[in-house]
Structure 1
Amino acid sequence: MMRPKAGWATIILIIVTCLTIGVMVGLVIRDWDRFIVMPLNEIGDFLAGTAGTVALIWIVYGYLQQNKALEIQQAELKNSVEALNLQTEELRNSVEQQRLSAEHLGTQAKTMEEQARNTRLQLAEERKQIIVETYPLLTARKAHSRVVDGKLHQNLEFQNIAADCTAGELTISSKTAVSTEKKFNLLRRYEVLDYMLIVESTKEAQTDITITSMSNRNKKRQQTFRWSKGSITEIKCVPPKD
């Protein structure tokens, strides 16, 4: 806290005090003979009158100085309040900037996440397309069927929906099937391979059909289909489709 500096008023007051004391001492010295024979109450009145005047002046001066100090204190307090208000405003602005930055970062993160997701989807689609263009891929469906001499003759169709197949082989794994394996050469995309599955019609045992196909890029794929209870489904594919 700043304190009021001694100015001309203080200096003048000190001078007046010194002069008053000097005058009092001078009067005492001049009338020493009378002073020493004065009653004590008169001496006290003399000293009280002189010192009281000086004390009153200093009391008034102290009161004025105290008021001045209070004014300075009030001004400093006002400045402190203004500084706190400025700090509060700066803090509020800082919080707002951080909030805006957080929102911006959140938007950037969402955008990057969306871009990454799109990139993953694009790469997956490109990989799928590469697989389609590299390996043959057969789908199976059943066509017409008939029973001849107690045996079920089921016509199956395998359609190639991917890369051209330049060579392939179809094998059977079943205790009830009487069909034989089948080899084939060229099976272009979207062409169909017909196969007649012959099984004992009185048997319910399942039949696995494995087809190994080779593409024009010398890439081999092996698929296994299972015939059971009048329907055919794929159960294995190496390499996988995706």
Structure 2
Amino acid sequence: MAIVAYLVLRDPTATAKMTPNEWGDFLAGCFAPLAFLWLVLGYLQQGDELRLSTDALRLQAEELKNSVEQQRALVEVSRLQVESEREALAFERSLREDLSQPKFRVEGGGGAFRGDGQSTYNATFINVGHDATAVYAEILLPDGFRQSLLNQALFSKGEQYSTHITMTSRFPHTQGTLLVRFVDGLGRSVEQQFSVALIDQTDHSGLKFERIEA
């Protein structure tokens, strides 16, 4: 502004004779550098603000990244905890089911074969597991022979019952099947199977019983 005043006052007569266009050119020439200076200063200020804004966004991005990593870690911890609880529940369920299961062992005693063709084979049932109810056992042979061997309302843990198989002939060389049905400690109906065969081919051979795993 001082420069403009100086130029005007230095030659008032000349400036008084200037036309509007000349005044416009004069003022434009005087203020153009100032406008350019303001433009440069505004550009620099916007650059600083943009830089600050970029830094703020970068910090927010870092915080968001850290938050995502923390959430991922929490999710992984939760997943491992759920998996551990699931395995613990499965183990507990398996243990409870195993403890509720009666476990029968069948032992064969000596056999007897009489001259009239009748044969007798001894068998002993032993429960080494949980108490069982509604216990029923029968033997089945391939030729259609079947005989009920056991029918107990309650077969407690540690108890044993002896019975025998009576046939009008010798036990066949083929393998038979022993079925044992009962209700376990969880109230479920269960069936166990045993293979039945002669120990040897002598007249006094007993029977061997082997559990058939399901």
TM band (smaller chain): 0.5 to 0.7
Q: Which of 10, 24, 37 matches 2:14?
A: 24
Rounded to whole Å, the distance in 2 between the matches of 1:212 and 1:148 is: 29
Letter in 2 for 1:182: L
Higher relative contact order (CA 8 A, sep 6+): 2
Between stretches 101-110 and 181-190, larger displacement belongs to 181-190
- TM-score normalised by structure 2 residue count: 0.64
Q: Which of 157, 160, 167 matches 1:189?
A: 157
Q: Give 1:17 deviation, angstroms.
A: 6.7
Q: 1:170 to 1:64 in 2, by over 3 A?
A: closer
Q: 1:58 to 1:142 in 2, by over 3 A?
A: same
Rounded to whole Å, the distance in 2 between the matches of 1:95 and 1:69 is: 38
SS of the equivalent of 1:189 reads coil
Rounded to whole Å, the distance in 2 between the matches of 1:192 and 1:177 is: 28
Count of residue pairs the alignment pairs up: 197
* Alignment RMSD (CA, Å): 4.4
Residue by residue over 1:83-107, the C-alpha shift from the partner in whole angstroms, topping out at 9 and shown as x without a partner, is 1111111111111111111111211
Q: Which of 157, 162, 179 matches 2:124?
A: 157
Q: Give 1:60 deviation, angstroms.
A: 5.8
Between stretches 110-119 and 86-95, larger displacement belongs to 110-119
Q: Tell me the residue number matched to 2:105.
A: 140
Q: Give 1:65 deviation, angstroms.
A: 3.5
Q: Which of 87, 91, 95 matches 1:125?
A: 95
Rounded to whole Å, the distance in 2 between the matches of 1:119 and 1:216 is: 19
Rounded to whole Å, the distance in 2 between the matches of 1:69 and 1:156 is: 111
Alignment of 1:196-207 (within 5 A): 196-197=164-165, 203-207=172-176
- TM-score normalised by structure 1 residue count: 0.58
Flag structure 1 segments of 5+ consecutive residues without an equivalent. Answer: 1-8, 29-46, 238-242
Alignment of 1:1-242 (within 5 A): 9=1, 13=4, 23-24=13-14, 55=26, 59=29, 61-129=31-99, 131-132=100-101, 137-145=102-110, 148=113, 155-164=122-131, 168-174=135-141, 181-183=148-150, 187-197=155-165, 203-213=172-182, 222-228=191-197, 230=199, 231-235=208-212
SS of the equivalent of 2:92 reads helix
Partners of 1:176 and 1:205 within 8 A in 2: no
Seq. identity, %: 9
Between stretches 108-117 and 189-198, larger displacement belongs to 189-198
